[in-house]
Amino acid sequence: MNARFTITRLGSQADGVAETETGELFIPFTLPGETVTAAREKDRATLMSVLEASPLRIDPACRHFTECGGCAIQHLEAEAYHRWKRDKVAHALNSKGITCDIDALVPCAPQTRRRVVFTARRSEAGMLLGFVRALSSEIISIEECPISLPEIVAKLDRLTALAELVCATTKSFRMTVTATGSGLDVAVHESGKLGENQRRVASNFVIAQGLARLSIDGEIIIEPKKPVVMFGDIAVAVPPGAFLQATEAAEQAMADIVGRHLARAKKVADLFAGCGSFALRLAAKSEVHAVEGDAAALSALDRAFRFASGLKRVTSERRDLFRRPLTFKELNAFDGIVFDPPRAGAEDQSKQIARSDVPLVAAVSCNPVTLARDLRILIDGGYALKSVTPIDQFLWSPHVEAVALLEKPRRRR
């Protein structure tokens, strides 16, 4: 049954929150101050109509908004949207008793996302390729995507055709598409085991469409052109399905902040180094020890360093930093640290950093909650938090990146 609600604030996932007698009710696609009707089910509700709209409500940028689960908040005016993202970082820090001036949000432009994860499934009506509806398993086929690079959107029909060619399962599977300097790199996951004829037909299609590479579950099916991305001036041939920051502009913004902070460091440890987006840039001025658990990513980093010129020494170490973080004694060999862990954060590694006397630390995170936890550990260990910069590389989503810079006086030995 529909009922009338007043929205008081935005929740952490961009849902509007209404206060009711039985507690908070979350209503997607609503804004503070609005009066709406919605169909309630437990603590969530489906928006039926907006009776009194917020003056901050705008028309969404995409026809698929509210259906496709990719974006949550296209309907909020830009300045208010930027404040909301910045406040997410501030609230997370405040929850751990951390007070610090939060810099203005570094914004994200539309049509800049270079790495897009689609979901695909064969249906009676044909191949579906798109994004999953929020809180559902339903795939919404898409015809546009205003967050993604135009070269990805322009090939949606051909990517759908490729999904059809590699599909050997009745279940849903993922297709990660990355725009590189060599063309689109397509990494498919859980599409089933291909027969020889399927491999041949898919390979011919990749060549005909000018794609750089097709891999399935980490196996390269065909690679007409090695996918290459630039980390600053350094070319890196990335492995299949490699992690990359979502947008090139956000990556450069983070690298600039980190680079300025660590400019005085002669030796830097890059923890959770990935393919080297920080390490290879930092090596222009500092010796860098890159630590990463993924062998393929580390190999790409090392290969890029060996073929580059003008860099200081870069060493690499394969190590699971969740199971075996660098100890404070190992860290004391460095003048600076940058760490950029997955969303789970780096709790155990932060405890070791806190015990060290490394003077300069840069913490990068896509999760303000775990960032706040890790910063609390570092601050309790004697570090002073100098700045926090939120960076919006996940446009119109609830997610926000942040770079925190810390310092500690180095003890005399």
Listing DSSP states for 80-121 in one string gives HHHHHHHHHHHHHHHHTT---PBPPPB---SS-B-EEEEEEE
Q: Does the annotation flag 340 for ligand binding?
A: yes
Residue 123 CB neighbours (<10 A): 10
What pLDDT, on a 0 to 100 scale, did the predictor assign at position 259? Answer: 98
For the chain, how long is the longest CA-to-CA vector?
A: 71
3-state SS, residue 18:
strand
pLDDT at 65 over 70: yes
Q: Which of 68, 71, 145, 366 is catalytic?
A: 366
Q: Which two tokens stand for residue 348?
A: 């155990």
* Residue whose C-alpha is closest to residue 254's, from 383, 392, 347: 392
Q: Does the annotation flag 272 for ligand binding?
A: yes
Q: Span 274-287, mean pLDDT?
A: 98
Q: Span 238-256, mean pLDDT?
A: 95
Q: Tell me the C-alpha distance between 375 and 385, whole Å.
A: 8
Residue 333 CB neighbours (<10 A): 12
What pLDDT, on a 0 to 100 scale, did the predictor assign at position 136? Answer: 86
Q: Does the annotation flag 292 for ligand binding?
A: yes
What pLDDT, on a 0 to 100 scale, did the predictor assign at position 412? Answer: 56
Q: Does the annotation flag 348 for ligand binding?
A: no
What pLDDT, on a 0 to 100 scale, did the predictor assign at position 411? Answer: 67
Q: Tell me the C-alpha distance between 29 and 324, whole Å.
A: 43
Q: Would you call 145 a catalytic residue per the annotation?
A: no
Q: Tell me the C-alpha distance between 376 and 203, whole Å.
A: 51
Sequence-ordered alpha helix ranges (H) in 225-276: 248-261
Residues 6+ apart with CB under 8 A from 412: none
pLDDT at 413 over 80: no
Predicted confidence band of residue 89 (pLDDT cuts 50, 70, 90): very high
As beta bridge partners, residue 45 has 40
Q: Residues 37-61: pLDDT tens digits? A: 999 999 999 999 999 999 999 999 9
Q: Span 295-314, mean pLDDT?
A: 97
Domains of the chain: 2-57 (2.40.50.140), 83-109+244-407 (3.40.50.150), 115-229 (2.40.50.1070)
Q: Tell me the C-alpha distance between 100 and 413, whole Å.
A: 31
Predicted confidence band of residue 241 (pLDDT cuts 50, 70, 90): confident
Q: Residue 342: phi, psi to the nearest 5? A: -65, 180
Q: Residues 125-147: pLDDT tens digits? A: 899 999 999 888 899 999 999 99
Q: Is 77 exposed, middle or buried (0-12, 13-18, 19+ CB in 10 A)?
A: middle
Answer for the pair 28, 19: CB distance below 8 angstroms, yes or no: no
What pLDDT, on a 0 to 100 scale, did the predictor assign at position 119? Answer: 97
What pLDDT, on a 0 to 100 scale, did the predictor assign at position 135? Answer: 80
Q: Tell me the C-alpha distance between 338 and 258, whole Å.
A: 7
Q: Residues 371-388: pLDDT tens digits? A: 999 999 999 999 999 999
Between the alpha carbon of residue 402 and those of residues 27, 88, 170, 192, the distances in Å are: 27, 10, 39, 37
Q: Tell me the C-alpha distance between 270 and 280, whole Å.
A: 10
User: How much of the chain exceeds pLDDT 70, in percent?
Assistant: 99
When the pLDDT of each residue in the chain is averaged and rounded to a whole number, the result is 96
Q: Residues 109-127: pLDDT tens digits? A: 999 999 999 999 999 989 9
Q: Tell me the C-alpha distance between 30 and 377, whole Å.
A: 36
